[in-house]
Chains A and B, each alone.
Chain A
């Protein structure tokens, strides 16, 4: 039983790490640029598609990943320059409409280029197989790698945001962008960089998701809703909040799906648990979000000075 709980916790951590990569970019864009970017899921999809295409073209997984990341970064910067720059002064509703339009645009674009059918995406052969945790308990190596990559990115992100000049500008921009611009910082360029960077993080999540999920037009919207839940729980604009929120959501969702039904079965009659369990498990993260909104509307770790 402890092995089972441990393994499910790892599953939750892995889901959390994926959500974190998405949430970190989205929360930076929302917190710093004050843009509600519904098209963040599209960048996740673009990352997955570009990596699959580059992997096929070059035959090397690492080269595919590098090209996929660079490509998503460029796509993100183009989106910022072409579309988002016109939206900074508008209210959130206009931004939601415009970025929703981007979702439709990107979904149709990938359908035109790669077709509507799901693409075959494989991980590298050196990440196939399992690691043996205990006797009889096995964990896919690829998923373990996702956890490691996600945690490394979290540390790097923390370093960049808190220890570098770029991070200082980002934090300053979040606190008071007029003042930062007045001090002679090229805020337009900073925004383009931040957005491109956020896009690359989404692309990284997308390219890691490819081999385990479904590379298909519209794949980004499936994860986006959970990502918004993460941001609300963690606090808008806060990378630390995104990390904690993502891991909480990942673990709550996974453990809920795994253990809620048997747990309910001990409290209420088994047939009732049979029908209530799955329904409640899929609602759990939204209940959590509602609780956070009720008791701590600013989120668990709101951005300082935001």
Chain B
């Protein structure tokens, strides 16, 4: 028994050695990207949209990234930071990936970024926008193709302030991002807030809150209720007959994932965002029409950001002519954001977070009976996040 196991480890060592020697030549020819997102459970649908967009990006690049053959390895984080860290470690050590990308949730992102940057690899976040990563904990090796959490509600706050909406009712889940969103709103909205309600994270029934809300007679409602919470709230808001009476302004609540589940209950609701399927630029028009053709549905912003992430990596590898060892060269190239973003104008701030436009969107019914988000106006041009001055890179 002992003999055999000794023999086996010897064999394993020999095989590993052979691979180690073959390694460098192999690595030159192929780029490996580890993509971490949520693929299981109720939130798995977001990861699915991201994966589809990554695949479409690679298809648009002719099956290569940066001119090299590419392998994308997908890992599920189950919305858990510890699972995300495990996935990142496995990707870095076992799969020897050159880049890590993806990640929906701020808490997972905060846990994973140090693991990736600590290993000297580049992390391209394609959704979560935790404020520390834009400010005090910014890192040379961390790039975001999304936003900072506060920016989207800031845009909504600006719009509400500019349109002189007063007596606002605010509803948000009782957790960090929920409070951040309200803080972002208040940075620009200075009108009266009738009441601020924090509901349980993952709450299903909002009838009690809707009853309270009606009794307060607000002039408008601001909601941040992402995922399933938004679907439930929109349905119940509609069933309470409030949709036509009381304007609802939301962030991350109405999107291409929730609209098919609520249909008419979304019509007339406002969102702020930096991207929309109807944004006019050649690369976005191509992305949206090819996505529809390939998957039979509209893409969502999680996917658009992930598509941009692959394009960003592509631009970096091209700039160093496929030399994946030249991490500094790739970082320098990425800072230039020299890729055709689906958002059109896109540049990087000193903290590796985008400087981008924010728009007001409204869910509207098309002539064909579909419900789509349409851009109504530009709220911010080249908007910077509130934390970049705290970022001392290096």
Contacts and interface: CB of A to CB of B under 8 A. Distances in A.
A10 B48 CA distance: 39
Interface in A83-138: 107, 111, 115-120, 122, 128-130, 138
A39 B15 CA distance: 46
A278 to B, nearest CB: 4
A154 B202 CA distance: 29
Given A258-B211, A282-B200, A214 B240 contact: no
Contacts of B369: none
Nearest to A255: B208
Given A117-B261, A217-B41, A222 B204 contact: yes
A218 interface: yes
A220 to B, nearest CB: 11
Contact of A4 (B174, B196, B215, B258): B215
Given A117-B261, A212-B236, A278-B198, A11 B211 contact: yes
B209 A214 contact: no
Interface in A198-231: 211-219, 222-223
Nearest to B257: A117
Nearest to B201: A282
A217 B39 CA distance: 12
Interface string B340-375: 000000000000000000000000000000000000
B232 interface: yes
Given A130-B241, A219-B42, A213 B208 contact: no
B235 interface: yes
Contacts of A122: 263
Contacts of A281: 200
Interface string B196-228: 111110101101110110010000000000001
Contact of A212 (B174, B199, B205, B241): B205
Contacts of A128: 239
A281 B198 CA distance: 10
Contacts of B200: 278, 281-282
B369 to A, nearest CB: 13
| Residue of B198, B209, B211, B235 contacting most chain A CB atoms (<10 Å) | B211
A15 interface: yes
A211 to B, nearest CB: 7
Interface string B246-264: 0000000000011011110
Among A8, A118, A217, the one with the most B-chain Cβ atoms within 10 Å of its Cβ is A118
A120 B261 contact: yes
A301 interface: no
B239 A218 contact: no
Contact of B232 (A4, A120, A212, A257): A212
B48 A278 contact: no
Contact of B228 (A4, A8, A118, A274): A118
B209 A257 contact: yes
B67 interface: no
Contacts of B207: 11, 14-15, 140, 143, 254
B392 to A, nearest CB: 32
A142 B263 CA distance: 18
A140 B240 CA distance: 6
B228 A216 contact: yes
A128 B241 CA distance: 10
B44 A118 contact: no
B73 interface: no
Nearest to A117: B45
Contacts of A255: 208
A115 B211 CA distance: 33
A279 interface: yes
Nearest to B46: A116
Interface in B249-282: 257-258, 260-263
A219 B197 CA distance: 24
A258 B208 contact: yes
Contacts of A116: 42, 44-45, 48
Nearest to A118: B261
A138 B44 contact: no
B231 A214 contact: yes
Contacts of B263: 120, 122
Contacts of B240: 130, 138, 140
B9 to A, nearest CB: 35
Contacts of B215: 4
Nearest to B297: A117
Given A116-B48, A140-B240, A278-B174, A4 B211 contact: yes
Given A117-B45, A119-B261, A213 B211 contact: no
Contact of A8 (B44, B204, B211, B260): B211
Contacts of A118: 45, 228, 231, 257-258, 260-261
29 contacts: A4-B211, A4-B212, A8-B208, A11-B205, A12-B208, A14-B207, A15-B207, A116-B42, A117-B45, A117-B257, A118-B260, A120-B260, A120-B261, A130-B241, A138-B241, A143-B239, A212-B236, A212-B239, A213-B204, A213-B232, A214-B261, A216-B42, A219-B42, A257-B208, A258-B209, A274-B196, A278-B199, A278-B200, A282-B174
Closest 10 CB pairs of A and B: A118-B261, A116-B45, A282-B200, A218-B42, A214-B228, A278-B198, A117-B45, A140-B239, A254-B208, A11-B207
Given A8-B211, A117-B261, A279-B174, 6 more contacts: A8-B208, A14-B207, A116-B44, A119-B261, A120-B262, A138-B240
Interface of A: 4, 7-8, 11-12, 14-15, 107, 111, 115-120, 122, 128-130, 138, 140, 142-143, 211-219, 222-223, 254-255, 257-258, 274, 278-279, 281-282
